[in-house]
């Protein structure tokens, strides 16, 4: 008996499942698929931009990733157009999604990226070490290279212990970054030929910051018993973003010392005055308040000396306005740990505004003299 022979049809290819599909429908389906893929592209590139900023890549790398994101937005708009054209040929959910997302995703990724970028700006205290336009801070790592004289344990409720210790280590990181800031300041003062007294102050103030960093790491240790210090900080040897001049250094002194170090002194002094503060922490903050106030005064002396030798006018009002508008971020996003010596946003904001106001008054007095 012979077997019936049936015609053998080829199996549909994986990428062509609709073998009997009318050509128009096939075109519409492919256009919708491409449109949807292109529409989602800016999400990936926006993530890449944020990763480049977070990783502290070079300014060129950040600009290049922004360029790729802008190009991906053009592709996304084209994806939206493909979605509209596909929907005209054959309405489908995918075509509608591509048409909407093609125009919505570039806008949403721009808004989301901007918000995330703002949130990624590190907090700052005292003289910040700015490179590539942002304050740079070291991480912390296990080790005893930054230990100070042993301290009595600071009593913190168990639920808050790790957060308060992390706050003190974050404060230590700002102090460690200030060491790099003063070292760089000393080099830049030498580079422009400033008076030796200014170079000496930069070094002396940098030594204070070493002591501040050590004592802050030690307070953190007294809270959670973990011995940690500043991690390797490769950004410390990055060159300044621009070649120093008397004018740029005077403006830097106004921003970093006359205002931000004065703000640190005000914030520390306000915490010292709080009656519920731990006595051991009070002593630490009192020392920091006195030192930061001295750094701010050195800043004013440096500002006067540098501004007098600047070839162009120093843009004092612009610096103060930028500080007001940028509202330097606090160490914490709440005020609950002031009794443990950590300034929250209310206190820090008031300290910065007071320092800006004082700077404006001193500059007006100077102009009137
Ligand atoms: Fe300090
Ligand atoms: Fe300082």
CA of 84 to the centre of ligand 1 (A): 59
What number is the average pLDDT over the span 235-264?
95
Q: What is the DSSP string of 176-215?
A: HHHHHHHHHHHHHHHHHT--HHHHHHHHHHHHHHHHHHHH
Of the listed ligands, the closest to the CA of 288 is 1
The answer to whether the pTM exceeds 0.75 is no
pLDDT at 308: 96
Rounded average pLDDT over 160-186? 96
pLDDT at 275: 84
Residue 56 has pLDDT above 60, yes or no: no
CA distance 46 to 52: 10
Mean pLDDT of the region 97-117: 83
**Ligand 2 centroid from CA 178, angstroms:** 7
Q: Could you say which DSSP state residue 155 is in?
A: P
| Nearest ligand by distance to the CA of 175 | 1
Compute, in angstroms, the gap from residue 261 CA to the centroid of ligand 2: 6
Binned at pLDDT 50, 70 and 90, residue 326 comes out as confident
Nearest CA among 88, 95, 104, 106 for reference residue 36:
95
Which range is least confidently modeled, 65-69, 83-87, 351-355?
65-69
Kindly identify the ligand whose nearest atom is closest to the C-alpha of 182.
2
Mean pLDDT of 311-322: 94
Give 276 Cα–ligand 2 centroid separation in angstroms.
25
In this structure, whether the domain defined by 130-368 belongs to CATH 1.20.1260 is answered with yes
Q: What is the pLDDT of residue 170?
A: 95
How much distance in Å is there from the Cα of 277 to the middle of ligand 2? 22
What's residue 64's pLDDT? 79
- Who wins on pLDDT, 162 or 110? 162
CA gyration radius, the chain: 29
* Section 51-69 average pLDDT: 70
Which has more pLDDT, 134 or 248?
248
Which H/E stretch holds residue 134?
strand 134-135
pLDDT at 117 over 70: no
d(Cα 80, Cα 34) in Å, to the nearest integer? 10
Give the per-residue pLDDT at 206: 98
Residue bearing the bigger pLDDT, 303 or 71: 303
Of 255, 230, 66, whose CA–CA distance to 148 is shortest? 230
For residue 227, the model assigns a pLDDT of 97
Ligand 2 centroid – CA 181 distance (Å): 10
Distances (CA, A) of 130 to 184, 242, 284, 328, 354: 10, 11, 26, 13, 23
| Lowest pLDDT segment from 211-225, 234-248, 272-286 | 272-286
pLDDT at 46: 82
Distance 288 CA to ligand 2 centre (A): 8
Average pLDDT for 59-84: 84
Predicted local confidence at residue 155, as pLDDT: 84
pLDDT tens for each residue of 141-156? 999 999 998 888 888 9
| Contact predicate 302/201, CB 8 Å | yes
| 66 or 60: which leads in pLDDT | 66
Would you say 39 and 101 are in contact if contact means Cβ atoms under 8 Å apart?
yes
Scan for tokens 């054959």, then name that residue: 90
Task: Give the integer Cα–Cα distance in Å for 314 and 253.
Answer: 11
Tell me what the mean pLDDT of segment 109-118 comes to.
Answer: 74
Is residue 251 pLDDT above 90, yes or no?
yes
CA of 230 to the centre of ligand 1 (A): 15
Distance from Cα 116 to the centre of ligand 1, integer Å: 28
What would the mean pLDDT of 306-315 be, rounded to a whole number? 96
What residues sit around ligand 2, an ion, with C-beta below 5 angstroms?
Answer: 126, 261, 292, 295
Per-residue pLDDT tens over the stretch 253-304: 999 999 999 999 999 999 999 888 888 899 999 999 999 999 999 999 999 9
Percent of the chain surpassing pLDDT 70:
89
Distance 172 CA to ligand 2 centre (A): 12
pLDDT of residue 1: 46
Residue 18 has pLDDT above 70, yes or no: no
């Amino acid at each position: 008996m012979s077997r019936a022979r049936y015609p053998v049809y080829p199996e549909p290819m994986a990428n062509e499942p609709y073998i009997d599909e009318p050509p128009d429908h096939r075109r519409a389906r492919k256009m919708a698929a491409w449109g949807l893929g292109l529409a989602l592209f800016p999400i990936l590139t926006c993530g890449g931009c944020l990763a480049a900023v977070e990783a502290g890549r070079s300014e060129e790398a950040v600009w290049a990733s922004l360029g790729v994101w802008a190009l991906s937005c053009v592709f996304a708009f084209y994806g939206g157009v493909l979605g509209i054209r596909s929907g005209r040929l054959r309405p489908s959910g995918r075509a509608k999604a591509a048409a909407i997302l093609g125009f919505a995703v570039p806008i949403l990724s721009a808004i989301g990226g901007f918000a995330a970028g703002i949130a990624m700006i590190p907090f700052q205290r005292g003289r910040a070490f700015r490179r590539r336009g942002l304050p740079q801070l070291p991480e912390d790592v296990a080790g005893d290279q930054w230990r100070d004289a042993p301290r009595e344990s600071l009593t913190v409720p168990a639920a808050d212990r790790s957060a308060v210790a992390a706050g003190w280590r974050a404060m230590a990181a700002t102090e460690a970054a200030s060491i790099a800031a003063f070292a760089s300041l000393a080099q830049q003062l030498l580079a422009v030929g400033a008076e030796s007294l200014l170079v000496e102050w930069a070094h002396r103030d940098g030594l204070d910051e070493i002591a501040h960093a050590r004592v802050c790491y030690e307070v953190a240790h007294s809270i959670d018993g973990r011995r940690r210090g500043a991690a390797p900080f490769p950004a410390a040897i990055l060159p300044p973003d621009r070649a120093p001049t008397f004018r740029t250094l005077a403006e830097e002194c106004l921003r970093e010392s006359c205002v931000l170090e004065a703000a640190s002194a005000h914030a520390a002094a306000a915490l010292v005055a709080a009656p519920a503060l731990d006595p051991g922490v009070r002593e630490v903050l009192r020392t920091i308040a006195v030192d930061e106030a001295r750094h701010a005064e050195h800043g004013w002396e440096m500002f006067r000396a540098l501004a007098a030798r600047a070839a162009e006018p120093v843009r004092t009002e612009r610096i103060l306005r930028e500080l007001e508008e940028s509202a330097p971020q606090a160490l914490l996003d709440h005020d609950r740990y002031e009794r443990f010596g950590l300034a929250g946003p209310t206190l820090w904001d008031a300290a910065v505004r007071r320092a800006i106001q004082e700077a404006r008054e001193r500059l007006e007095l100077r102009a009137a003299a």
